[in-house]
Structure 1
Amino acid sequence: MDILVSGAGMAGLSAAVNLGARGHRVTIVERSSHFRVNGSPIDVRGDAIEIVDKMGLLPQILAQRVDMTEQGQFVNGDGEVVARLPLEETSDSADDIEIAREDLARILADALPADATVIFQDSVSSLADNGDGVDVRFVSGREAGYDLVVGADGLHSAVRRLAFGPERDYIRHLGFYIAIADLPDEQPRADRVNPVYNYPEHMVSVMRYKDKALGVFLFRSDPIEYDYHDLDAQKQILADAFAGHSEWRIPALIEAARVDPELYFDSAAQIHMPAWHRGRVVLVGDAAHAASGLSGRGTSIAFTGTHILAEELENCAGDHATAFPRYETRQRPYADFAQHSIHGGAELVVPATWEAIHARNERIAAASR
């Protein structure tokens, strides 16, 4: 079949690799001018490890594995260590694989079938399911027809909006916003410690991996109205959230975010839908069931979902009307588990009060002792 995949993130690339491996002709359309690789390292865990092995990618992923023993350290306003975060607080098991987002994107892009088409700087503007296929119009004005459309375009999915209705019907804001900025001037450290500073309802940290460093910001907030395509607006929201605080390294890290041309900024939110398919359109990854970065499982369930989708299409000889419900039945437990796994994560990384911050530090320090 001719299949359009909207979005070239982890879910979109994984969908294209899995579908292409089964003989489908895949076109990927991506709004950005390049593969989006900014962001913190990501985890491959649980059944997703077996999936990437079936995809033939496990050796390459293991070769690029990030050492997970980097020490997370909670610090006070003067940078003094007050507690060290044990690895077991943030991982499921020693089998978890952490990998730089850019490395995983490159591995997936290199695994695309030779006949796959990737179109950058374009996106879907309308969909018309005619029963025998889907007529697609793109923002560029181009038009094309496909047998199936796979929405892998993330939390703010255009395919979901066009096929299922407005985002507000499915999104659940979790009360946080997150930003991630590149720190190109950060000096490397042999120990690669990752310091974390909190004040009530806010967190700012430096995350080091390989030869890179990132500034990571979290703050509690009710939903904020803004254009999520407007980078300047996002930078202003972030600066306002941390305004008036000069302790530790906050001003320098906010300035690094301000000058980062590819700052990541978004709400911590989940997508909850009763169904992920309608006619010849189907959703995967965050577009279908975003769990939020607090789960640490977004990429893993993108791998399971896209593999299951391609497998069921093959098992059903391309009969999407049978394959799509079977995909949902098998993938739903993974999505539900990931969405429920966030509980407690917020209290660990961004406590709401000074009392909660001190209690967390004392608990972790006592456990370390």
Structure 2
Amino acid sequence: MRNVLISGASIGGPALAYWLTRYGFKVTVVEKAPTLRPGGQAVDFKGETHLTVLRRMGILDDLRRVQTGGTDQEIVDANGRKLAILPGEFTGGALEIKRGDLARILYDRTAADCEYVFGDSITSLTDTPGGVQVTFERTTPRTYDLVVGADGIHSNVRRLTFGPESDYVRHLGYYYALVDIDGDFGGKPQLYNEPGRMVATGGPKAPAFFVFASGPLSYDRYDAGQQKEILARAYRGMGWRTPQIMAAVRHSDSVYLDSISQVRIDRYSQGRVALLGDAGYGNTLGGFGSGLAMVGAYVLAGELAAADGDHRPAFAEYERQFKQYAKIARNGNAGPFLAPATAARIRMRNMMFRSSFLMGLMTKMGDKFATDIALKSY
């Protein structure tokens, strides 16, 4: 089983391609976007396990050269007065980097050894005794020994293999948005809350970052105009500098709006098809997505190599190891933490940020979850 198709060229997909090509597999990566997506929110890695995988890939020094560094963010009231500090070491982990920079480094390390197909998407998967027959929107149909979905929380591979998204993705009652905006919004990163709503500028996620409570919304995730209108309705009447920020949003060319959701699936593989990263164990803004994807790629590729390409024992061992490690993605909801539902809960959250003891405890807990796996040396 040496011919592998990976769907998704963001983080997990190229990381898996890196390891598989080292083990002698022939790899194709298909990506719906026309090119690598630059910029994007900051992602972070926590604890020695994450750093060990990056070190074994030989990219840790490259990432450190372009890391953003954890940035403190002021939590302010409607008049701009500082209420608390969201510490950079809490949000930035051991290493923080923009998603686009990470994707570029991974692509550069793999482009010469595998095939990348941009601007295309899988339309059907047929698992047969001789391989997985795959059709695409544009490319000629091909047969692969194995297929891996590393295509995010809205995974196309998961939908085609396991069933509709509604069966496996649970909406957690919030939406978030990342928007590139122009203008002077005070220089220092700041965050402002009203019940069920948060807006932040200059922080690690994006020039403008929004989180708001909402039931499921129907909209086109590729239509920036619809997303801007949703944001305009959600933030109408909000204080602080929100009106100026929303005016800048109207003129932005880069808007990304999505739900805060959690993937709940009992298994990570079916037949010759497996899931990696957010496709199998995603939890939006949960703080562990990139680390889980990178460690998952290391384990999945290593088990395939150890089994000489036999997917049955390899997928079973990958799942056995990862069910325990990925449990952090099955718990928690960043929405109530970032946009508490009441003024009292906002005050309680801010009090926690003012406690060095509680912040230290939360950081240690994050590191504990991030290192809760014994990495094999494949």
TM-score (norm 1): 0.90
For the residues of structure 2 that align with 1:287 and 1:359, how far apart are their CA atoms?
34
For the residues of structure 2 that align with 1:145 and 1:43, how far apart are their CA atoms?
36
Structure 2 equivalent of residue 215 of structure 1: 208
Structure 2 equivalent of residue 348 of structure 1: 337
Please point out which of 175, 179, 182 is paired with 2:180: 182
Pair 1:265-2:257 in alignment: yes
Structure 1 equivalent of residue 241 of structure 2: 249
SS in 2 for 1:8: coil
Structure 2 equivalent of residue 142 of structure 1: 140
For the residues of structure 2 that align with 1:254 and 1:139, how far apart are their CA atoms?
37
1:355–1:19 distance in 2 versus 1, CA, 3 Å: same
Query: How is 1:150-189 mapped onto 2 (pairs within 5 angstroms)?
Result: 150-186=148-184, 189=187
Residues 304 and 331 of structure 1 are in contact (CA less than 8 Å); yes or no, is this contact kept in structure 2?
no
Structure 2 equivalent of residue 8 of structure 1: 9
Aligned length in residues: 355
Identical positions, percent: 39
Pair 1:204-2:199 in alignment: yes
Please point out which of 313, 316, 320 is paired with 1:325: 316
Following superposition, the deviation at residue 258 of structure 1 comes to 3.3
SS in 2 for 1:111: helix
List alignment gaps of at least 5 residues for structure 2.
358-378
Following superposition, the deviation at residue 359 of structure 1 comes to 3.2
Residues 180 and 257 of structure 1 are in contact (CA less than 8 Å); yes or no, is this contact kept in structure 2?
no
For the residues of structure 1 that align with 2:243 and 2:256, how far apart are their CA atoms?
18
For the residues of structure 2 that align with 1:202 and 1:260, how far apart are their CA atoms?
21
1:357–1:20 distance in 2 versus 1, CA, 3 Å: same
SS in 1 for 2:110: coil
1:213–1:227 distance in 2 versus 1, CA, 3 Å: closer
1:337–1:208 distance in 2 versus 1, CA, 3 Å: closer
1:67–1:157 distance in 2 versus 1, CA, 3 Å: same
Residues 180 and 208 of structure 2 are in contact (CA less than 8 Å); yes or no, is this contact kept in structure 1?
yes
Please point out which of 332, 335, 358 is paired with 2:347: 358
For the residues of structure 2 that align with 1:8 and 1:297, how far apart are their CA atoms?
18
Pair 1:45-2:40 in alignment: no
Please say which of residues 355-364 and 116-125 is displaced more in the overlay: 355-364
Q: Deviations over 1:287-316 (max 9, x none)?
A: 1110221x2110000001111010000000
Please point out which of 265, 280, 293 is paired with 1:302: 293
1:71–1:163 distance in 2 versus 1, CA, 3 Å: same
For the residues of structure 2 that align with 1:308 and 1:24, how far apart are their CA atoms?
15
Code of the residue aligned with 1:194 in structure 2: it is P
Q: CA RMSD in A?
A: 2.1
Residues 127 and 137 of structure 1 are in contact (CA less than 8 Å); yes or no, is this contact kept in structure 2?
yes
Please point out which of 52, 55, 59 is paired with 1:57: 59
Please say which of residues 352-361 and 121-130 is displaced more in the overlay: 352-361
Please say which of residues 112-121 and 250-259 is displaced more in the overlay: 250-259
For the residues of structure 2 that align with 1:99 and 1:366, how far apart are their CA atoms?
27
Q: Deviations over 1:152-185 (max 9, x none)?
A: 1111111111011000111111111010011344
Residues 5 and 152 of structure 1 are in contact (CA less than 8 Å); yes or no, is this contact kept in structure 2?
yes
For the residues of structure 1 that align with 2:291 and 2:119, how far apart are their CA atoms?
27
Following superposition, the deviation at residue 244 of structure 1 comes to 2.5
Residues 38 and 262 of structure 1 are in contact (CA less than 8 Å); yes or no, is this contact kept in structure 2?
no
Code of the residue aligned with 2:307 in structure 1: it is C
For the residues of structure 1 that align with 2:173 and 2:336, how far apart are their CA atoms?
12
List alignment gaps of at least 5 residues for structure 1.
none
TM-score (norm 2): 0.88
